[in-house]
């Protein structure tokens, strides 16, 4: 198992581990949110039950008011009858009737004749009787409350107007205040839960809490909000007396909403922190790797310099002793090769000098060196899209290194038998070089990973050839190198993009 495969497995393992952690975190957070939501709903349900129990007292009071009003009307009728009989009663009966009239200390009563004059009244403030206008307003107000009682005094038809006694009025005011304060108290006790109390038509808001006032004031926004709250939770019906139903709408509290989204926000923040940390450490690691790479390359060039000088001296000695010229020629070729290799390693880490170079000519030179060192069953063909030379900005020693690595990989992929085709295209600002082989092809999942250090399919390979080629093309030539096309058992095409002088 090579280094790259191990690294990929470690990445996959860490990814699975991170996914499990994230899944458990989200599951636990949702578990807490659901638990709080259930408890909150239970509280709202208990609160609604408490409302119903407490409102039973209000319903009872409403019934009590009905009985009291009925009794007061009976008393008003008796008082009216007593008023009509006062003028015709005997002494004993007169005292009895006057006693009935005087004991009415609570019910406001008006006796009104046909001309809307008030010959007699009881329990009414005299300030309302001083002017005709105030008297008329008082009679109208009494008449709006209850139907007047007919009364005949000495053949003259009159009417008795009355309204609720001070006891009933005070009790009713107290009950109304109790209801309003009960609604306000109930809403306030809902804590952080958004609550709306509406009328039976679900349009008029009686009270609200934890909801933006602008929503309540806008009828369209209010109806939309009520619809959302009704969709979230079934409203609770509250009955205030007979034929009066109110609805309590509520949604999840702000705390539940925050808890629901908090894990995602937390994971995003942690993810960003880890990503930034990874990028920083990756930058430092790449910088360290580059320093090691550059240091090893320069040290290799330095170490090759000494034996290379020695070899050159030995060749001169052999030539002086009359050694076979063919042998001397081959030795000089290898020495030149070693000099080029030394020059390549010495340029790693330095800014290379780029020169306008004929691409086809450079490809022919690289091929001529490789030709005797690869299988004779491999054909190499070089073509370009124009008759004149195609030029690009190239550092010849480094670029030749790229071509050699790609050709060697192609020969290995074809098992030493096949064809390598080079197509050169000139496109204004760029030169495109397509290198195709008839080998086994590369799976699509590995189209990018083959350029990573350590990736190799060879048992004795280091996986540095294509990584080095990518570094030379992209870092030193500001170009691009990638797999243009690759199909299983149908070969691979590498594309190199270089800048022209323009």
pLDDT tens digits for range 321-351: 878 888 888 788 788 778 777 776 777 766 7
Are 104 and 79 contacting, i.e. CB atoms less than 8 angstroms apart? Answer: yes
Cα distances (angstroms) measured from residue 475 to each of 307, 393, 470, 472: 30, 13, 8, 6
Least confident of 174-188, 199-213, 301-315, 487-501: 174-188
Q: Is the dihedral of CA 69, 74, 80, 82 positive or negative?
A: negative
Measured distance CA(28)–CA(20) in Å, rounded: 12
Are 123 and 106 contacting, i.e. CB atoms less than 8 angstroms apart? Answer: yes
CA angle 384, 390, 393 (to 5 degrees): 135
* Token code pair at residue 128: 């309302």
Return the closest-CA partner of residue 437 out of 464, 480, 398, 408. 408
What are the backbone angles phi and psi of residue 157, rounded to the nearest 5°? -80, 125
Unique residue bearing structure tokens 């009976």:
74
pLDDT tens digits for range 391-448: 999 988 889 889 988 998 889 889 889 999 999 988 878 999 999 999 988 888 888 7
Are 197 and 191 contacting, i.e. CB atoms less than 8 angstroms apart? Answer: no
User: In terms of DSSP H, where are the helices of 146-253?
Assistant: 166-188, 213-217, 219-232
Return the closest-CA partner of residue 51 out of 198, 244, 238. 238
Looking at the DSSP bridge assignments, the partners of residue 483 are 494
Give the pairing type, strands 391-394 and 355-358: antiparallel
pLDDT tens digits for range 241-290: 556 777 888 887 767 777 777 777 877 888 888 888 888 877 777 776 66
Q: What is the mean pLDDT of the chain?
A: 78
| Mean pLDDT in residue range 458-467 | 65
Return the closest-CA partner of residue 205 out of 223, 232, 189. 223
Are 159 and 151 contacting, i.e. CB atoms less than 8 angstroms apart? Answer: yes
Query: Max CA-CA distance within the chain?
Result: 176
Give the distance, in angstroms, between the CA of residue 370 and the centroid of all CA atoms in the same chain: 57
Return the closest-CA partner of residue 198 out of 155, 265, 243, 249. 249
Are 107 and 162 contacting, i.e. CB atoms less than 8 angstroms apart? Answer: yes
Measured distance CA(461)–CA(454) in Å, rounded: 9
pLDDT tens digits for range 124-161: 888 888 888 888 888 888 888 888 888 776 667 788 88
Are 25 and 476 contacting, i.e. CB atoms less than 8 angstroms apart? Answer: no
Measured distance CA(379)–CA(241) in Å, rounded: 102
Give the distance, in angstroms, between the CA of residue 454 and the centroid of all CA atoms in the same chain: 38
Give the distance, in angstroms, between the CA of residue 162 and the centroid of all CA atoms in the same chain: 67
* Token code pair at residue 39: 């408890």
Strand order in the sheet with 245-250: 205-209, 195-198, 245-250, 236-239
| Mean pLDDT in residue range 202-225 | 83
DSSP state of 118: -
Structural domains in the chain plus CATH codes: 168-252 (no CATH), 351-499 (3.30.565.10)
Measured distance CA(169)–CA(272) in Å, rounded: 68
Binned at pLDDT 50, 70 and 90, residue 319 comes out as confident
pLDDT tens digits for range 13-71: 878 888 888 788 778 877 777 777 777 777 666 666 666 666 666 666 777 777 677 77
């Amino acid at each position: 198992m090579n280094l790259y495969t191990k690294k990929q497995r470690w990445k996959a393992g860490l990814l699975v581990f991170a996914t499990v952690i994230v899944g458990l975190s989200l599951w636990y957070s949702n578990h807490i949110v659901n638990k709080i939501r259930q408890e909150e709903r239970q509280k709202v349900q208990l609160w609604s039950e408490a409302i119903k129990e407490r409102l039973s007292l209000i319903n009872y009071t409403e019934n009590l008011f009905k009985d009291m009003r009925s009794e007061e009307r009976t008393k008003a009728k008796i008082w009216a009858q007593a008023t009509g009989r006062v003028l015709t009663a005997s002494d004993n009966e007169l005292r009895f009737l006057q006693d009935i009239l005087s004991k009415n200390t609570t019910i406001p009563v008006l006796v009104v004749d046909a001309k809307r004059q008030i010959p007699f009244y009881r329990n009414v403030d005299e300030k309302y009787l001083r002017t005709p206008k105030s008297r008329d307003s008082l009679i109208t107000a009494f008449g709006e409350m209850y139907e007047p009682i007919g009364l005949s005094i000495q053949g003259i038809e009159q009417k008795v107007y009355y309204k609720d006694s001070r006891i009933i009025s005070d009790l009713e005011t107290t009950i109304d205040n109790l209801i309003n304060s009960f609604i306000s108290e109930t809403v306030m006790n809902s804590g952080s839960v958004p609550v709306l109390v509406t009328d039976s038509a679900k349009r008029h808001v009686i009270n609200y809490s934890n909801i933006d006032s602008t929503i309540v004031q806008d009828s369209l926004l209010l109806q939309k909000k009520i619809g959302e709250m009704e969709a979230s939770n079934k409203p609770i019906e509250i009955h205030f007396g007979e034929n009066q139903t109110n609805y309590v709408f509520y949604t999840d509290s702000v705390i539940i909403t925050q808890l629901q989204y908090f894990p995602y926000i937390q994971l995003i923040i942690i993810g960003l922190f880890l990503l930034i940390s990874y990028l920083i450490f990756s930058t430092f690691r790449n910088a360290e790797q580059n320093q090691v790479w550059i240091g090893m390359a320069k040290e290799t060039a330095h170490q090759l310099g000494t034996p290379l000088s020695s070899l050159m001296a030995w060749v001169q000695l052999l030539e002086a002793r009359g050694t076979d010229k063919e042998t001397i020629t081959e030795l000089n070729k290898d020495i030149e090769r070693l000099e080029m290799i030394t020059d390549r390693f010495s340029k790693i880490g330095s800014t290379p000098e780029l020169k306008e170079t004929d691409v086809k000519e450079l490809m022919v030179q690289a091929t001529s060196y490789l030709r005797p060192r690869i299988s004779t069953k491999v054909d190499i063909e070089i073509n370009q899209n124009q008759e004149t030379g195609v030029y690009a900005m190239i550092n010849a020693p480094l670029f030749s290194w790229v071509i050699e690595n790609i050709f060697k990989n192609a020969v290995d992929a074809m098992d030493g038998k096949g064809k390598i085709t080079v197509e050169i295209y000139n496109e204004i600002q760029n030169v495109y070089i397509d290198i195709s082989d008839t080998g086994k092809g590369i799976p699509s999942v590995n189209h990018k990973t083959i350029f990573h250090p350590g990736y190799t399919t060879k048992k004795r390979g280091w996986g540095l050839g294509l990584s080095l080629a990518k570094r030379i093309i992209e870092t030193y030539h500001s170009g691009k190198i990638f797999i243009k096309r690759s199909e299983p058992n149908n070969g691979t095409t590498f594309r190199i993009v270089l800048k022209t002088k323009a």
